[in-house]
């Protein structure tokens, strides 16, 4: 098992223990974390696309 997979498994086990200790659904928390990751990726991709559009617009304005 690679070091990354080992660390990921260790973190998941610790998270699961904390969830049990605090009476929180582990699977609900996992879904929430995945939703946050997706939200951040979409926001980042949107910002990148805005920068690309801005550069295209600026380069087209410089040609005229």
Q: How many CB atoms lie within 10 A of CB 35?
A: 10
The CA–CA distances, whole Å, from 47 to 37, 55, 59 equal: 15, 12, 18
Report the distance separating Cα 4 and Cα 9, nearest Å.
Answer: 9
Q: What is the pTM of this model?
A: 0.64
Task: Tell me which DSSP letter residue 9 carries.
Answer: H
Sequence-distant (6+) residues with CB within 8 A of 20 are: 26
- Domains in the chain: boundaries: 3-63
Task: State residue 60's pLDDT score.
Answer: 84
26, 19 in Cβ contact below 8 A? yes
The tens digit of pLDDT for each residue in 10-58 reads: 999 999 999 999 999 999 999 999 999 999 999 999 999 999 999 999 8
């Amino acid at each position: 098992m690679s070091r990354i997979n080992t660390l990921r498994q260790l973190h998941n086990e610790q998270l699961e223990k904390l969830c049990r200790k605090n009476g929180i659904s582990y699977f609900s928390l996992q879904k929430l974390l995945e939703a946050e990751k997706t939200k951040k990726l979409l926001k980042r991709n949107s910002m990148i696309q805005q920068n690309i559009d801005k550069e295209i617009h600026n380069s087209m304005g410089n040609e005229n």
